Structure 1
Amino acid sequence: MALLDETAKGVYVIAVTPFTETGALDLDSTDRMVDFYLEKGATGLTVLGMMGEAPKLTADESRIFVRRVLKRVDGRVPVVAGVSASGFAAMRELSDSVMGDGAAGVMVAPPSTLRTDDQILSYYAMAAETLGPKTPFVLQDFPLVTQVQITPAVILKIVAAHPSCVMLKHEDWPGLAKISALRAASDQGGRRISILVGNGGMFLPEELSRGADGAMTGFAYPEMMVDVWKAHAAGQVERAHDLFDAYLPLARYEQQPGLGLALRKYTLAKRGAIASATLRKPGGALSKMDIADIERLIARQERRLKEIG
């Protein structure tokens, strides 16, 4: 598999981590999940992300899971692995493992302890050194979770200083102006990197219009992001918005803090992508009313998709 680079585009689905009813890794469901994402048109996969319950896995489980995903993908699409860690030794160990097994790149989020621009720049300099120049990495910018605010100017300095930084996972909210600023800088001669957006695709049509290259996020209907991206790339902007609007009520519902992953796993299990909706503890649990809401939203979504064709 070729390494990740600045030309990456499309939809890199943030994969869930399937568990059995007892909370053990479900590797058979891992195969089913990979097949499901690829059948829905994913151009890449990202594993061990924040919505992949990575902190709940042991180091050995992380390696086993990534290895299984890579084996099932079999080089058909790039696979990115999250390697964020509290220390650089653990980051290097996991990165060396996944890259050795065939990952296309890794993703690094900043620790919540960073407060100043200088601290952020220093951290990513050390991260780039730790990973090595031959390991491309994704800078994950998710201030709603990390509590680290990274300005466009700081991102541009990281990109200029470290050629191995090839992608920004953009999850700032609101963040449309940030995409515009980064694209304006590359239009004026700065190095252009890939920008894939997160937040469940909640602002995907607008982000694509600002210059994003696609999405790197999860949603129980990944084909929404794929179809929106394809329509937008073909110049069918209104069609992209119509498709997005049909899925928006369910996408919005799935974005609930603390409950979103349980909702996503329930729907993925309903669709046959995984055998069980189990979250490893601690994790949210759905009520009968939550499930009724999902079922209603799915029914309305299906009707709307039939109407627009």
Structure 2
Amino acid sequence: MTRLTSDAKGVFPIAPTPFHDDGRIDTASIDKLIDFYLACGSTGVTVLGQLGEAPKLEHTESVAIAKQFIARAAGIPVVVGVSAPGFAAMRALTREVMDAGAAGVMIAPPNTLRTDDQIVGYYKQAAEAIGADVPFVLQDYPLTFSVQMAPSVVRRIVMEVPSCAMLKHEDWPGLEKISTLRGYERDGSMRHISILCGNGGLFLDYEMERGADGANTGYCFPDMLCDVVRLHSSGRKDEAKDLFDAHLPLIRYEQQPGVGLAVRKYVMMKRGLLASAAQRKPAAPMSTTTQQEVDQLLRRLARHDKRAQL
């Protein structure tokens, strides 16, 4: 069993949960997804995140999905989102997926947290609830969760909760936060932690420049994210930026609140990674106009990246 460590790097795609049109889980597409992630060089994968429609799943479904990804992952770390309103549900899911071989879990803050002490206290209690031996990802996504974590708060969590192994950085604007956190490491006031970034990859090129270790997001071309991280890490930064820039219009479009998941699933269906673009209800389907706009974006992207020739 591969455990998540603070040295994690590369790309951990956030996997969507595939559904049939009638809302049943599409297990065949789960295998297709993980096989694709492995083939394109992903260094890990995260399941049951925001993109995974986790709140729409029953507990038994969540466990089954996680187990299937873990069994198929061929040794790369699988992180499972276990965020829940209470610690009992969080603990139950964590125990089952860790027993199945998960590398760690991801925990988002509840939107009721307001003060710095409340945020730090929550993560201390969460770590105690799931077990101090379980590595966890701290998800910092204020645009969705309405919880603002200053760099000093992240530092407190990292230093006071030893099982915190990774920051999923999704603050926006957040480049200065990455610089500040790496500065804490240099001056010795914070231990090293892995920083992988979300937000659809929208700022990945500059996030890497600021010291991020890679991407942890659900953009519909995770293979491009892998290429960008590899190119950047090997010193071929101009090539990385050129490839990234070609994808920016689609990344931007995909980041729209509400419709973003529908766009991602639609493109992944066109790429043959999902049998259906269906979301489990309640869902926000794409309009015909939106579909036409996405098709146009793909045609334009295909001029620069042949993977978009769908």
Separation in 1, partners of 2:131, 2:301: 46
One-letter identity of the residue aligned with 2:71: K
Deviation for aligned residue 1:237? 1.5
- TM-score by length of structure 1 reads 0.97
- Secondary structure of the residue aligned to 2:305 is helix
2:99 maps to 100
One-letter identity of the residue aligned with 1:207: E
* Ranges in structure 1 where 5+ consecutive residues have no aligned partner: none
- TM-score by length of structure 2 reads 0.97
* Ranges in structure 2 where 5+ consecutive residues have no aligned partner: none
1:19 maps to 19
- Secondary structure of the residue aligned to 1:50 is coil
Deviation for aligned residue 1:274? 1.0
1:80 maps to 79
Deviations 1:48-83 (A, max 9, x none): 0011100000111100111111111132x1100000
One-letter identity of the residue aligned with 1:10: G
Q: Superposed, which structure 2 residues align to 1:275-286 within 5 Å? A: 275-286=275-286
Separation in 2, partners of 1:74, 1:233: 24
Separation in 1, partners of 2:262, 2:136: 29
1:65 maps to 65
- Secondary structure of the residue aligned to 2:302 is helix
Deviation for aligned residue 1:128? 1.1
- Secondary structure of the residue aligned to 2:133 is coil
Q: Is residue 2:275 matched to residue 1:289?
A: no
Deviation for aligned residue 1:40? 2.1
2:175 maps to 176
Count, aligned residues: 305
Give the share of equivalent positions with the same residue, in percent: 56
**Structure 1 residue ranges, 4+ long, deviating more than 2 angstroms after superposition:** none
Separation in 1, partners of 2:281, 2:305: 36
Separation in 1, partners of 2:2, 2:21: 36
One-letter identity of the residue aligned with 1:144: L
Q: Superposed, which structure 2 residues align to 1:14-163 within 5 Å? A: 14-75=14-75, 77-163=76-162
Q: Superposed, which structure 2 residues align to 1:192-207 within 5 Å? A: 192-207=192-207
Larger CA deviation: 29-38 vs 262-271: 29-38
1:8 maps to 8
One-letter identity of the residue aligned with 1:92: R
Larger CA deviation: 194-203 vs 26-35: 26-35
Separation in 2, partners of 1:220, 1:121: 33
Larger CA deviation: 4-13 vs 29-38: 29-38
- Secondary structure of the residue aligned to 1:218 is coil
Deviations 1:92-122 (A, max 9, x none): 0000011000000000000000000010011
- Secondary structure of the residue aligned to 1:168 is strand
Separation in 2, partners of 1:305, 1:135: 40
Separation in 2, partners of 1:279, 1:172: 26
Separation in 1, partners of 2:163, 2:182: 19
Separation in 1, partners of 2:304, 2:157: 43
Separation in 2, partners of 1:33, 1:8: 21
RMSD over aligned CA atoms reads 0.9
One-letter identity of the residue aligned with 1:163: P
